[in-house]
Structure 1
Amino acid sequence: MNTKQEIVDAINRENKGAAPPALFTQTGTTEMMSVCGSSWPEANYSEDAMIKLALQPSELFGFATVRIPFDMTAEAERLGCEVFEGDNSRQPSVSNSPCKTGEIGDPPDLMPVDEFLSGGRPAMYIRTAERIAKEHPDLFLTSCTIGPVELAGLMVGFEEFIMGSFMNPDGVMNWVKKMTPYQCAYAEALSEASDNVFIITEGAEDVMDPDTFGTFTPYEGQVFTSIKNSFSTAHVCGITENILEKLAGLGSTILSVESHGDPQSVFDRVGDKVVLAGGIGAISTLLQGTPDDIRDAAWKAVDAGYPVIMSECGVPPQTPNVNLEALAKYRG
């Protein structure tokens, strides 16, 4: 049986048995939506619908974890961006921003931080976390937000942000600095109701030059410093070969990166610096693999030394239930 306590023990490096399975990344799938009757996009905008869908991994497969929300657009939407709501197989995405002008300008005056937290979906997500914590204290609750680099990219457009990091680095840095107080306050608020705050950090080498990412780490680090009441996880999708140590030094309790089938190399480099969670490739294994593939990958990560076994990126919406069940029960 999976339990919340063994996840806590694993993060504290006190677990005695095989590493517990968990889900800290997004968990919405079309099969679970069909089972419970709660689907995207409604589950991204309704507390009740979100909670119902978020509980499915526990109710159907026995995970001791619950994770909210399912997307990463609420913060940008609150600050004025337009959002495409998606459908039952596509998450919401930023479709336009009043700050996207084709170049990096000075950040405009935006709402105060306390106003940011008190309305829109950020406020809804905080309330949802509070409800889950109260109604399901036996589950390890992870609440997700994004880092200031990710939010700045959504506000000005990622293409403009990446080009600006070469052509106008001071302008880009001003945007990262502008976003940092919002994300620090939001992460702290989520930590008051959650067991773990999961921060999506934009730094993958297939998107950003490692040296450029290095200039942003003080601001990403401020977000983790603000998380005072829970564990914290830094997550990056993509290639992290040349920034792995930087990620391990951000100040998070846990690090979630893609190991590309080689969890041992990741563990050997940073396993003594931060708790590693992962081992299961989201696309190659969880979505496209068989239950046996998932069990094999899980034990490979256990043998490498990973304290927590989970998907290394968001659970793909088309992931079959049998594969999630295999992860939840990989220990037999």
Structure 2
Amino acid sequence: MPTSPFIVPTVDISPYLAEGARAHNSAECARVAAELDTACREVGFVQIVGHRIPGATVDRLTRALDEFFGLPLETKKKYRRSSSENRGYSPPVSESLSMSLGVQSANRMNDFYEAFIVGTETTEYPDLDLPEASYATNIWPGDAPSFRSAVEEYFTHAQELARILLAAFTDALRVEPGYFDAMVDHSINALKMNNYALPEGEVAFDGDATGMGAHTDFGILTILWADQVPGLQILGSDNAWHDAQPADDALLINLGDAMARWTNDRWRSTVHRVNPPITDGQIIRRRSAAFFFDGNHDAVIEPLPGTVVDGEPGYPPITVAENIAAKVAGLKAGVKPTVALREAARVLSAR
């Protein structure tokens, strides 16, 4: 019997951005919430349109990526930070995202991409005693003078969109409005900007190298902008890898570990990866920017009431910061997480 084609659903979220939609009691919002619930249960990824991030803002972001990643490798390395801070520049083959799940490849650190990360700082919440490890100070590349303003503009829009999506997710889960507010009022947010095409001769391409290894995201939700270039693959419920790329003017949204744990896997933190975008033996340009909405560092992630059925194992409580720290240690230092992860078994059995 033929299987159904793998499809990432598309949802128009504009009703949640409409004037007066804060109450979220319109029929249009109810429809959007139902569509999101289906996508989160069945796929764990969804394409959104009607998000209202201006095209000009995205254009400025992409020019900023080109400005920074076009610099010589040795210049970019000036902006490298320690793995514990998870900020600044990461050179090619210095990370392995599959190790965030404890899945090791033949070459321990083999992800081909290079990246630059900025995020929420302690200075944004002066009245709170926040840990520097979770809210590290950003570093901005002076060698790319237009970079900071363009990135901060996009970051602001993505942050606002993430909170609107969380309101829609709250409705979709049928919990009371504002249920998650106390868990995200000083959320750790980060923007990871990635580049997969490097000038010839800067780094040797190893056949074992991956574009970005199989992984789940760490927090509540991710907003992904990406070039319309092949590479992104999603691990479906059929245990097979499926290609995915955004449609025109769409953003890809996926769930992270926090939401999967809160819903006890009713909603999926879907495993995904990026293969090197190769055409005729050459790596072609692929850029992406993933905005991670991760929640407060001290928010406790445990199953929501009613999500654990008698006899089913529920996730043990863990804070957002503890979960992120364990996965970043695998990503950047190759340290295997000490807790067995359900996602690792899915990766190892994938076809």
TM-score (norm 2): 0.26
Normalization by structure 1: what TM-score? 0.27
Relative contact order, CA 8 A, sep 6+: which one is greater?
2
Structure in which a larger fraction of residues adopt helix: 1
More strand by share: 2
